[in-house]
């Protein structure tokens, strides 16, 4: 259950990071509200997951998921350029996250 909560928290990290970028320094209401809600859910879920998962592993997985999804979404929407090298590096982060899950 902790891993599911951690993955969902990582997804919410991508939500709040994207919303933060779109809030224009908290001058746009809707992205600012999405940021606050996403941040609360992301941090809350991370805290719950850390009850049973090691802090270092939980944090690395949370950041990795959030980073990959944030960059991936930015590339899909055209806010960031796509390159094969960038995609391979993001795949490396995904591989590391999966590796952390598979370790005993």
Spatial distance between the Cα atoms of 76 and 79, rounded to a whole number of angstroms: 8
Strands (E), the chain: none
Q: What is the pTM of this model?
A: 0.92
What would the pLDDT profile of 81-99 be if each residue is shown by its tens digit?
Answer: 999 999 999 999 999 999 9
What would the pLDDT profile of 30-46 be if each residue is shown by its tens digit?
Answer: 999 999 999 999 999 99
The confidence score (pLDDT) of residue 70 equals 98
Q: Write down the residue that tokens 């929407």 correspond to.
A: 77
Nearest alpha carbon to residue 41 among 19, 60, 25: 19
What would the pLDDT profile of 69-79 be if each residue is shown by its tens digit?
Answer: 999 999 999 99
């Amino acid at each position: 259950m902790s891993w599911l909560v951690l993955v969902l928290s990582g997804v919410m990290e991508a939500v709040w990071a994207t919303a933060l970028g779109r809030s224009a320094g908290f001058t746009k209401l809707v992205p600012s509200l999405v940021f606050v809600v996403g941040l609360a859910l992301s941090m809350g879920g991370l805290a719950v997951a850390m009850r049973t998962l090691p802090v270092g592993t939980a944090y690395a997985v949370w950041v990795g998921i959030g980073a990959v999804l944030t960059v991936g979404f930015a590339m899909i929407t055209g806010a960031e350029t796509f390159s094969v090298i960038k995609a391979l590096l993001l795949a490396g982060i995904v591989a590391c996250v999966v590796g952390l899950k598979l370790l005993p």
